[in-house]
């Protein structure tokens, strides 16, 4: 027998039933606020995805996300009626999401699960989140949006003045509270964002404030809307093979050592050498090494264009392994460290494992002082940009699942196509997908053969251009 709803749930249902007929008119009055809120949701949830909207209300937010497959759930029968009337292209289910049996009528898994303000009205936030695991794959992201607890008094005043719809009793939660509920329910918070400093249009001034001022450090803490993106820890996909892509330009002396020093960290390792337009016989050396090690699965390719990014992505596109790895041919990231990256992916500690040269001390002469300062600065900027900690943006070793790379590649042009290294394409792409990024500290070694391909000043200016471009694409939405 189904247990009776709590007094809180009964009150919430009655409230939303009563305001359902006027819900759209209130939404129209606060059109700017909803547009600003949904602007970030559209960044998190791309069109054409499958979306489960828990607490969908009249379905307008779900419709704005333009999912290929959309399902809305709400405990208010009147809200569901309004949603079905306005958005017949989607499926709307009358159910209390805190009742796991009521959700049994919904089949399959989803790319994204959205709870827009829903957690604030839940009787049991932990139970609500626990019921969502059944709809998750490893790639599924749960997006929680809610009002900042710092704005509670202002919002109550707006309600009292008749500038905001009357509200049901709700939970006033901080970002830390939401993270705690997610952790207790078996979800891992990947990143948190704070947006929307000005809820009013103010003749266009509100858009400028929300775009360029609200995302700034410290100021962002005053924002009205908070967002937490999580992944389920109850699901994982198995991996059994790896491809190590080694791009090389004038690295003839490092080709054989790369093969000899590569540990046998899994049963099926594919090595792909991608030759640039070398002048020291690197390509010929790759061919010789492939013949000299017939017991290794070695492929040799010539990149079609120029630059490391072109070589890496050319290799990734040809790879057959479940996990893709980049190993720079200069071997300053010791190949012996790759098992750490493999372990992070296999044990689901990371979905994007990023090498960091700046945690341990490094060999004398391994990195010039100005390069070190620039790397420290870019680490700070990128941590802020992607809302995940990253201590080294330019370490060449980056590791991810091939399935995630395919999704990243499909959205790669969102960030432009002027990164000659590929590091930033991968970092920004992983952030856009809300992958769990984790730094893997490595011992950075001095180069034993050849010279660095990095130009401190010309490439440094290019990196600052990338930071500005990423700010416009990630923060200043």
Neighbours of 216 (CB within 10 A): 12
77 in Cβ contact with 17 (< 8 Å): yes
Number of helices and strands in the chain (H, E):
17, 14
Q: Percent of the chain having pLDDT more than 90?
A: 69
pLDDT band for 95, please (50, 70, 90 cuts): very high
Evaluate if residue 455 carries a pLDDT over 80.
Answer: no
Dihedral angle sign, alpha carbons of residues 148, 81, 94, 12? positive
* Mutual angle of helices 423-432 and 456-470, in 10-degree steps: 20
Q: What are phi and psi of 472, to 5 degrees?
A: -70, -30
Q: What is the pLDDT of residue 198?
A: 95
pLDDT band for 207, please (50, 70, 90 cuts): very high
More confident site: 457 or 346: 346
Q: What is the pLDDT of residue 423?
A: 81
Strands 437-441 and 352-356: parallel
More confident site: 166 or 219: 219
DSSP letter at 2 equals: P
Place of tokens 């924002």: 223
Describe the strand order of the beta sheet including 241-248 as a list of residue ranges: 297-302, 268-275, 241-248, 323-326, 398-401, 352-356, 437-441
Least confident of 66-70, 112-116, 131-135, 236-240: 236-240
DSSP letter at 254 equals: G
Q: What is the pLDDT of residue 62?
A: 97
Mean pLDDT over residues 247-270, rounded? 94
Q: Is 445 left (phi over 0), alpha (psi -120 to 50) or beta?
A: beta
Neighbours of 153 (CB within 10 A): 9
Evaluate if residue 108 carries a pLDDT over 60.
Answer: yes
Cα 177 from Cα 342, distance rounded (Å): 33
Q: What is the pLDDT of residues 336-392, one digit of tens each?
A: 999 999 999 999 999 999 999 877 776 665 566 666 677 778 788 889 999 999 888
Q: Is 289 left (phi over 0), alpha (psi -120 to 50) or beta?
A: alpha
Q: Average model confidence (pLDDT) for the chain?
A: 90
Q: Percent of the chain having pLDDT more than 70?
A: 92
Cα 321 from Cα 405, distance rounded (Å): 12
- Total length of the chain: 477
Place of tokens 């995940």: 388
Cα 323 from Cα 344, distance rounded (Å): 11
Q: What is the pLDDT of residue 56?
A: 96
pLDDT band for 162, please (50, 70, 90 cuts): confident
Q: What is the largest CA-CA distance in the chain?
A: 81
Evaluate if residue 241 carries a pLDDT over 60.
Answer: yes
Residue 44: partners with Cβ closer than 8 Å, 6 or more residues away: 112, 141, 143, 227, 229, 434
Evaluate if residue 78 carries a pLDDT over 90.
Answer: yes
More confident site: 87 or 413: 87
Q: What is the DSSP string of 188-211?
A: EEEEEEEE-S--S-GGGHHHHIII
SS3 call for 263 = coil
- Give the CA angle between residues 36, 42, 47 to the nearest 5°: 150
Q: What is the DSSP string of 63-104?
A: HHT--SEEEEEES-HHHHHHHHHH-TTSEEEE--TT-TTGGG
Architecture of domain 7-232: 3-Layer(aba) Sandwich (3.40)
Mean pLDDT over residues 28-50, rounded? 94
pTM of the model: 0.92
Neighbours of 361 (CB within 10 A): 9
Neighbours of 41 (CB within 10 A): 20
Q: Cα-Cα-Cα-Cα dihedral of 163, 168, 173, 177, to 10°? A: -160
Cβ-in-10-Å burial (0-12, 13-18, 19+) of 238 comes to exposed
Residues in a beta bridge with 230: 142, 189
Architecture of domain 241-475: Alpha-Beta Complex (3.90)
Evaluate if residue 74 carries a pLDDT over 80.
Answer: yes
Q: Cα-Cα-Cα-Cα dihedral of 210, 213, 215, 216, to 10°? A: -170
Q: What is the pLDDT of residue 412?
A: 73
Domain boundaries, the chain: 7-232, 241-475
Cα 3 from Cα 439, distance rounded (Å): 46
Mean pLDDT over residues 275-289, rounded? 92
């Amino acid at each position: 027998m189904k247990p009776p709803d709590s007094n809180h749930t009964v009150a919430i249902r009655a409230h939303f039933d009563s305001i359902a007929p006027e819900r759209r008119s209130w939404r129209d009055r606060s059109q700017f606020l909803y547009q600003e809120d949904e602007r970030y949701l559209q960044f998190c949830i791309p069109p054409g995805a499958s979306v489960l909207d828990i607490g969908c209300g009249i379905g307008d937010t779900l419709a704005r996300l333009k999912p290929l497959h959309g399902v809305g759930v709400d405990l208010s029968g009147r809200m569901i009626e309004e949603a079905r009337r306005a958005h017949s292209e989607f499926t709307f289910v009358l159910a209390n999401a805190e009742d796991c049996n009521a959700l049994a009528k919904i089949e399959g898994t989803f790319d994204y699960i959205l709870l827009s303000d829903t957690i604030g009205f839940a009787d049991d936030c932990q139970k609500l989140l626990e019921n969502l695991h059944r709809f998750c794959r490893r790639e599924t992201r749960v997006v929680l949006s809610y009002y900042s607890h710092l704005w509670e008094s202002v919002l109550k005043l707006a309600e009292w003045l008749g500038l905001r719809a009357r509200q049901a009793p709700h939970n006033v939660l901080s970002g830390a509270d939401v993270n705690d509920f997610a952790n207790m329910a078996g979800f891992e918070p990947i990143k948190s964002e704070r947006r929307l400093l000005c809820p009013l249009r103010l003749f266009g001034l509100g858009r400028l404030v929300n775009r360029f001022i609200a995302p700034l450090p410290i100021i962002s803490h005053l924002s009205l809307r908070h967002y937490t993106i999580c992944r389920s820890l109850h699901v994982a996909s198995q991996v059994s093979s790896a491809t190590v892509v080694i791009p090389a330009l004038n690295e003839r002396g490092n080709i054989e050592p790369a093969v000899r020093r590569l540990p046998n960290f899994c049963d099926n390792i594919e090595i792909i050498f991608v030759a640039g337009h070398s002048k020291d016989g690197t390509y010929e050396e790759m061919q010789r090494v492939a013949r000299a090690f017939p017991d290794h699965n070695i492929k040799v390719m010539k990149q079609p264009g120029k630059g490391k990014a072109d070589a890496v992505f050319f290799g990734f596109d040809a790879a057959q392994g479940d996990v893709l790895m980049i190993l720079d041919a200069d071997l300053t990231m010791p190949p012996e460290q790759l098992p750490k990256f493999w372990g992070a992916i296999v044990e689901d500690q990371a979905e994007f494992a990023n090498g960091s040269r700046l945690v341990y001390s490094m060999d004398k002469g391994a990195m010039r002082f100005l390069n070190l300062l620039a790397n420290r600065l870019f680490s700070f900027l990128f941590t802020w940009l992607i809302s995940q900690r990253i201590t080294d943006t330019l370490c060449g070793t980056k590791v991810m699942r091939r399935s995630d790379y395919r999704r990243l590649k499909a959205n790669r042009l969102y960030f432009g196509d002027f990164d000659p290294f590929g590091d930033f394409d991968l970092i920004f792409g992983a952030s856009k997908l809300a992958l769990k990024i984790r730094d893997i500290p490595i011992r950075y070694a001095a180069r034993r053969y050849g010279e660095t391909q990095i130009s401190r000043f010309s490439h440094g200016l290019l990196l600052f251009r990338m930071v500005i471009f990423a700010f416009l694409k990630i923060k200043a939405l």
